[in-house]
Structure 1
């Protein structure tokens, strides 16, 4: 925990006034003003512990990029044999610290909800997880829509931006103590713009190596690779790139007889217009100054812009304070002095934060692992080896693998009111096969997508004298007394201990669950949550020891608790250790029955994502192993594969296996439907099926076509 909050919502309006606003009120507020300010005129954004400030549009775009990163990691995950040793997995690497600070700031920006637990920090925000969140279903500070659906967007130049009328036509010069920090902010804002379904908004940045080195230091030599950031050796080369783009865009506009690049959308909907292009450079002099001015003047209608470090007499220059507040400079002799460049408070970032965000954004752009050298340090507890995440400390005896039919009903799960609100809000972000129609889903499988999952019936609480806890899906205590709910943080502690195998040090808990609590209060808060959790467990399970604290370590008692995640893992271990095929199949089925939904589904715990992904990988591996065991039973195999696809909609290997099974059954339409479902799912993460998958589908379709379909085959087709 830190001595003070590491991310806060914007405090009072800074002392340095933003240009274009009066000190005694603003009788007329423009749409641009509304976009960048709250109802009191205060710029909306997040202040980090370092002093950096990020406008709300950038923060929302970064949250959406993080969701995209996790989806890409799931897409590229390669299943492992169940008995393969765990190794360090880059796909489980936590996000940089600055991302956590931004997301905590976003949570604070949400309005308070009734029943919120005020002892700990607010966690009431949707979890960015799944295709809908990638589309931008985060909420802004007013609880409104996301950037991609009309809410705040990053403060970056673009014809489609609400602030487009305020951008200087021949470039914006930055001076003052915060000039370099603001240039870094523009870089991140530009690269964060544009969701997967908004290709026209994905700004490209052209920068010279000297400018990159000035802003980012020695790390600029080897920046994370992304097609949206083009770094040249010299400014002249950067201008050559901008000039080439300008000529290309001018030809497109002239060919379609339209005025601007954005008009191309209506003129030629089949060909998306070029995205915004931003030149980031030091303000030049001599002939390069004239060249830059000419390019930017011509490029305004072509979505080409310039952000220049230093006074820019051919455009508009503003002074930026260390907090991002802007004021006009002396405009005497400036032909554009009538333009206020009132773009509001600018995002300002430190070099290290910028590099971390660049790494995250680059992975969201490419879908590939980032360059390791640019990964920031993370809490030790979050970066442990996967065997720590998967919690091998609990070795339940085989009798704990016994299952009763069904799964916990929602009415039998106890959560705090604040936690229930959070999970209800996050339920709008389901992990699912995206955008498929009911007809495609029906054709893609002969069974429902939940064919290998447990039903929604109730499990008898207190089985074998133990309290039943569910952490796969909405976390809670099964059949608990609704009048005695745990605090939100107490429930989070229960999930945290469960996923770590039942044990965690006090230091790890404080780092992960209370990262921004004041140091002098963090331990007391932890004791409060521990006491509350013990009380709730005793109330629902009777007298006994549920949570111990030996040697500064908190441990759950497996003799008193029956946790679905532990059952899943015990079943996988049993399947790994047995040599009997029938026994192995039964154990794998038990494991998959317990994996109804992702870990703590709908909850936005700050530490959760690497653990959630580790559990997801375990379930994925188990599904693949079971499908392999059922290779001689294609109908049974399909039930497993289609249920797995519902949990892992971006896993191409599952679709390939399902296509092969459908081909063995002669089900041509089902193969086609699977290909459509996969294509739509991957479109949500801005990618497409691999050549291997498309070639396999074509091969299986052609081979199946060549067969003489019997009436039985036609009846079997979905």
Structure 2
């Protein structure tokens, strides 16, 4: 490490600059105490070599040597400062004003001998591996960055026990599988219909997913109990009141934990009064509450008691507001406790226990202060609403046009790089021309190829940057990159990490190929299409061509299928990836369905649909089409085997598809469907956003 040597050099320079003057002033005093008098001048002329004059001469000489040293250090520092400033003007990666000033001051004071603004390790030589397992400490967020502990994680807006966080991530994954199951292929258009663009999940869910990815549970850790069992073990029977600043945040955590437990295991249910739901989620919470499974909203305690008695098995948590009838609440608490449930009052509970709730989620029993304080999930209002969307039924109406979607980016064409504004001094040298070919492959495992040889990229965050810029040909700014790669972390702590990652990535590519692949203009980063080709861009171009062509559509559809070897960034679990991966997969499925519908040969149509099922083994429409073709060919046994295997696949993933049998059998009587008459979909709404 260089910083100890730099610190030692700084201390030596400071000692040389401050030490001699202090010693001279302390022992001798100033070299000249004033203008000499005429008598002193005459005495010096008559006898110049006296003890006093020699001392004064030596003192003046020492001061002159110190001035020479100070002048040398000052000139050296100014030279370094000027050279660093000139170099910084040539760096294509600008830094904020504070980072520039600190880099210039560090270069001047510490005597940096090489022009560098990062602490990146030396660049590795190109090798046959696309990505090495070794990663610098700052490549990804550490557990300390996200405040991860063995029993839970901290995300913006709250704290979740690990089991609850894992349930959120599992529900999000299940939501995407349901979206894949329910998608129906559609005719190709330049931008695709509104239904072909899945909405992104809320940022809070991305933060949970990223945190669990960065800090997985230890392999030898015992499996924690499910959320509902943990809640029942913590909450006392006979009702519990919650007071203190953490009452409402813990109430939201109870709501989420109980509903997630019911989502994973249909046994637990939850009832809540309308007033309590408003206290927890705000005045507009009732529409969301109506779409939550296993949640019953009652007007008051009088309606909750018969509901508890009718549930079988009666495992539930009841949330009620503070201002309630004591007799009704006491009766409800008794019925709930008798049925293995719990009653929670958001406020003091005069006929039962009242615990103090802290904002951190800890509960304190004032009657037994020596007992350990259990910690429950705590959420703010916005985060709770976001996390609940992964288990809510879809909106009954058409999504608002303002809902953010992920359109398929248009194909890009190479264009010359805009020159930077001229600065003082000589023009910046341009890199020598390179005849090497760079190809970025993101369909499948992300790999950067230089002359068909994979380049080693040390940082996993750098690989993610390449994939993100490939999926956004028009570029992305600093905020978009940091929010996508490190969701849920404060941006001010990520700017330096992003600059370090980009600097290391650009340096690695420039050292291996001599090319500047990542451009930076107007605070937007983008891949330079003149220096690198991307397989995803070729797929985009094929989709745009097929959507606009009026002749030879079959060839254009086949070009889409041929340009799709695997899923986008296969094997990666980056939170930003799902919407883009899904819309890309859907356009390929559209092409496969169009090819099969246009095919007159049933055997050829069978092969095309099998290819589509291989691309998305969860899509119900493709399986229904394939069952129809097998039935038309007279192979009923193969059709039944395919259908049963598909049902088992859905069951293994936790997707219940009770309407699939009706969909497949009803469509099989009409033969293979066409794009204008797709198989009839289930009228019941799927359990997806």
SS in 1 for 2:282: helix
Kindly tell me: are residues 384 and 176 of structure 1, through their superposed partners in 2, closer, same or farther at Cα, counting changes over 3 Å?
closer
Deviation track 1:514-567 (CA, whole Å, cap 9, x = no partner) reads: 455654564443333333333444455x33342322333323232332322122
* Structure-1 separation of matches of 2:635 and 2:584: 33
Select 1:353's aligned residue among 367, 373, 383.
Answer: 383
User: Residue in 1 aligned with 2:91?
Assistant: none
Kindly tell me: are residues 358 and 343 of structure 1, through their superposed partners in 2, closer, same or farther at Cα, counting changes over 3 Å?
farther
How far 1:676 moved relative to its partner? Answer: 0.9
How far 1:604 moved relative to its partner? Answer: 2.4
* Structure-2 separation of matches of 1:518 and 1:698: 54
User: Residue in 2 aligned with 1:694?
Assistant: 664
Select 2:156's aligned residue among 27, 49, 65.
Answer: 49
Kindly tell me: are residues 373 and 278 of structure 1, through their superposed partners in 2, closer, same or farther at Cα, counting changes over 3 Å?
farther
SS in 1 for 2:272: strand
User: Residue in 1 aligned with 2:522?
Assistant: 551
Deviation track 1:675-705 (CA, whole Å, cap 9, x = no partner) reads: 112322333343214365232366379xxxx
Select 1:292's aligned residue among 332, 338, 346.
Answer: 332
How far 1:623 moved relative to its partner? Answer: 1.5
Alignment of 1:163-312 (within 5 A): 164-194=232-262, 196=264, 198-200=265-267, 203-224=268-289, 225-245=291-311, 249=312, 274=313, 276-282=315-321, 284-300=324-340, 304-312=341-349
SS in 1 for 2:383: helix
Alignment of 1:535-550 (within 5 A): 535-538=507-510, 542-550=513-521
Mark the runs of 5 or more structure 1 residues left unpaired by the alignment. 13-36, 39-43, 111-139, 250-273, 332-336, 378-382, 398-463, 702-718
Kindly tell me: are residues 466 and 102 of structure 1, through their superposed partners in 2, closer, same or farther at Cα, counting changes over 3 Å?
same
User: Residue in 1 aligned with 2:165?
Assistant: 59
How far 1:48 moved relative to its partner? Answer: 3.0
Q: Are 1:472 and 1:564, in contact at CA under 8 Å, matched by a contact in 2?
A: yes
SS in 1 for 2:525: strand
* Structure-2 separation of matches of 1:167 and 1:521: 38
Q: Which moved more, 1:584-593 or 1:345-354?
A: 584-593
* Structure-1 separation of matches of 2:594 and 2:256: 42
Using the size of structure 2 for normalisation, the TM-score is: 0.66
How far 1:481 moved relative to its partner? Answer: 5.5
Q: Are 2:239 and 2:353, in contact at CA under 8 Å, matched by a contact in 1?
A: yes
SS in 1 for 2:379: coil
* Structure-2 separation of matches of 1:371 and 1:7: 41
1:589 matched to 2:589? The reply is no
SS in 2 for 1:92: coil
* Structure-1 separation of matches of 2:180 and 2:304: 36
* Structure-2 separation of matches of 1:543 and 1:659: 54
Q: Are 2:183 and 2:621, in contact at CA under 8 Å, matched by a contact in 1?
A: no
Kindly tell me: are residues 396 and 275 of structure 1, through their superposed partners in 2, closer, same or farther at Cα, counting changes over 3 Å?
farther
* Structure-1 separation of matches of 2:238 and 2:568: 51
User: Residue in 2 aligned with 1:664?
Assistant: 632
How far 1:343 moved relative to its partner? Answer: 7.3
SS in 2 for 1:219: coil
Q: Which moved more, 1:290-299 or 1:185-194?
A: 290-299
* Structure-2 separation of matches of 1:386 and 1:502: 14
Select 1:681's aligned residue among 634, 642, 649.
Answer: 649
1:614 matched to 2:588? The reply is no
How well do the aligned residues superpose, as a CA RMSD in angstroms? 3.6
Q: Are 1:324 and 1:348, in contact at CA under 8 Å, matched by a contact in 2?
A: yes
Q: Are 2:190 and 2:547, in contact at CA under 8 Å, matched by a contact in 1?
A: no
User: Residue in 1 aligned with 2:611?
Assistant: 643
Q: Are 2:441 and 2:534, in contact at CA under 8 Å, matched by a contact in 1?
A: yes
Kindly tell me: are residues 369 and 356 of structure 1, through their superposed partners in 2, closer, same or farther at Cα, counting changes over 3 Å?
same
How far 1:299 moved relative to its partner? Answer: 1.0
* Structure-2 separation of matches of 1:517 and 1:286: 44
How far 1:192 moved relative to its partner? Answer: 1.0
* Structure-2 separation of matches of 1:474 and 1:314: 61
Alignment of 1:323-402 (within 5 A): 323-330=360-367, 344-362=374-392, 366=393, 368-369=394-395, 385-387=405-407, 390-395=408-413
Mark the runs of 5 or more structure 2 residues left unpaired by the alignment. 1-140, 416-434, 672-689
Kindly tell me: are residues 329 and 517 of structure 1, through their superposed partners in 2, closer, same or farther at Cα, counting changes over 3 Å?
closer
Kindly tell me: are residues 507 and 281 of structure 1, through their superposed partners in 2, closer, same or farther at Cα, counting changes over 3 Å?
closer
Q: Are 2:314 and 2:339, in contact at CA under 8 Å, matched by a contact in 1?
A: no
How far 1:229 moved relative to its partner? Answer: 1.0
Larger Rg: 2
User: Residue in 2 aligned with 1:152?
Assistant: 224
* Structure-1 separation of matches of 2:501 and 2:183: 36
SS in 2 for 1:649: coil
Using the size of structure 1 for normalisation, the TM-score is: 0.64
User: Residue in 1 aligned with 2:498?
Assistant: 526
How many residue pairs get matched? 508
SS in 1 for 2:292: coil
Kindly tell me: are residues 275 and 83 of structure 1, through their superposed partners in 2, closer, same or farther at Cα, counting changes over 3 Å?
farther
* Structure-2 separation of matches of 1:619 and 1:369: 27
Deviation track 1:454-496 (CA, whole Å, cap 9, x = no partner) reads: xxxxxxxxxx963222111211124766673252122111111
Q: Are 1:90 and 1:369, in contact at CA under 8 Å, matched by a contact in 2?
A: no
* Structure-1 separation of matches of 2:545 and 2:641: 36
* Structure-2 separation of matches of 1:580 and 1:326: 70
User: Residue in 2 aligned with 1:319?
Assistant: 356
